[in-house]
Amino acid sequence: MSRGPSPCPLPQAGEGSCPPPRRGEGNRAGDGTDIRRDDWAARHAPAALLPYIRLARLDRPIGTWLLLFPGWWAIALAARSWPDWRLVALFAIGAVAMRGAGCTLNDIADRDFDARVARTRTRPIPSGAVSVRAAALFLALQLAIGAAVLFALDRLAILLGLLVLALVSTYPFMKRVTYWPQFFLGLNFNWGALMGWAAATGRIEAPALLLYAGGICWTLGYDTIYAHQDKEDDALIGVKSSALALGEATRPALFAFYGAATALWAAALAAAGAAWPAWAALLVAAALLAAQAARVATSDPADCLAKFRANRWVGWALFLGFIAARVLAG
C-alpha cells in the first residue's frame, strides 16, 4: 500500500521512518504525529503538566483499560458476592501508574528511534519538551505510586508484583529480537489476573491461571491488529511484530487467538463455578472478538485502531458479567 511522499528523510537501516497518522491520534494539521493538539489535555491541562500527561499516555487511556481489566476480572470472579471495592480502586490506581511507567520507560528506550519517525517525533522526549533526566524522575514517581498500591496488598500479591518487574523492564526491547513482542506484552498486561486473585483470596488457584492464559491469547489478537498499522515501516527499519510474521495469515490467526482466549476463559468460569451471567457475558465477549477477526481491514490503519480500541467492550462485558454472577450466587 502506498503511503505517499515521506515527510522525513528515508532512514538508514535500523533507524526510523514516517508512518501515517492513526485515526483519533493525529492532529488536524495532518502532519503525522500521534499526539492530538485539540484533545482535552491540550485544552485544559496546565502547560507545565501537559508533556507528562502525554508521556504517561493519560490522554489515550485504552492501554490502561487493557492493563486493568484482567485484574478486575480476577477480583470479581474470586468474590463471594460483590467484589472488594477497595481492591477495585487500588488496581485502578495501580494500572494508571504502571501503564504510565511502562510508556515512560518505552519512550526513554526508543527516544532515538522516535525522533526519526513522523508519528512519534513530537512526543515529549524526542521533541525536547521533557529531558531524559526529567523523564527518569517521572518514571521513578510513577513507580513509587505503583509501589504504594502494591504494598497495600497482601504478601502473595506483593511478591507477584515484584516478580512482574522483570517482564516490564524487558518488554520494550522485545521488538528488536523477536517477531512475537505481542506475546511478551500479553505476559505483562495480564499479570493482574494473578495479582487480583491473590489479593482477593491470598492464593493462586486454577481460575486465575486460566484467566491469565486466556488474557495472553486475547493480547496476541488485539495487539497483532494494532501492529498492522505500522507493518510497512516496521519492515523498512527492522522492527519485528506478529503482524509481519503472520502477514496474509492474520485473519485465521486472530480466530485462533480469540478462540483460545474464549476457551480458556470458559475453563476459568467452570473452575470457579460461576453462575449463568458470567457465561452470558462470555458469549457477548466471544461475539465481539469474532466480529473483530472477521471484519478487521488489516490494510487500513484507521480500522485497525478502531478494532483495537473496541476491546474495551470485551473487558467491560466480562467484568460486569462476573460481578452479576457472583452477586446472583451470593
171 vs 318: CA distance, rounded Å: 27
Q: Exposure of 5 by Cβ count < 10 A (0-12 exposed, 13-18 middle, 19+ buried)?
A: exposed
The pLDDT score that the predictor gives to residue 113 is 67
Q: Is the pLDDT of residue 123 over 80?
A: yes
Q: What is the mean pLDDT of residues 147-163?
A: 96
The pLDDT score that the predictor gives to residue 7 is 31
Cell 477477526, located at residue: 293
Instruction: Check residue 248 and report its DSSP letter.
Output: G
Cα dihedral across residues 254, 260, 262, 265: positive or negative:
negative
- Cβ–Cβ < 8 Å for 247, 232: no
116 vs 6: CA distance, rounded Å: 12
What percent of the chain stands above pLDDT 70? 87
- Cβ–Cβ < 8 Å for 53, 45: yes
The closest alpha carbon to 51, from 69, 35, 67, belongs to 35
317 vs 319: CA distance, rounded Å: 6
Q: Which residue has the higher pLDDT, 54 or 39?
A: 54
- Cβ–Cβ < 8 Å for 163, 96: no
Q: Is the pLDDT of residue 258 over 90?
A: yes
The pLDDT score that the predictor gives to residue 44 is 81
Q: Is the pLDDT of residue 60 over 70?
A: yes
221 vs 227: CA distance, rounded Å: 10
Q: Which CATH architecture has domain 40-329?
A: Orthogonal Bundle (1.10)
Q: Is the pLDDT of residue 1 over 90?
A: no
The pLDDT score that the predictor gives to residue 34 is 60
Distance set, CA 3 to CA 189, 244, 292, 299 (Å): 32, 17, 24, 11
**pLDDT tens-digit readout, 71-122:** 999 999 999 999 999 999 999 999 999 999 989 998 898 787 677 666 677 7
**pLDDT tens-digit readout, 160-203:** 999 998 888 788 788 888 999 999 999 999 999 999 999 999 99
102 vs 80: CA distance, rounded Å: 33
Q: Which residue has the higher pLDDT, 154 or 330?
A: 154
Mean pLDDT, rounded, of the chain? 87
Give, rounded to a whole angstrom, the gap between the first and last alpha carbons of the chain.
Answer: 55
The pLDDT score that the predictor gives to residue 118 is 64
Instruction: Check residue 171 and report its DSSP letter.
Output: G
Q: Which amino acid is at 26?
A: G
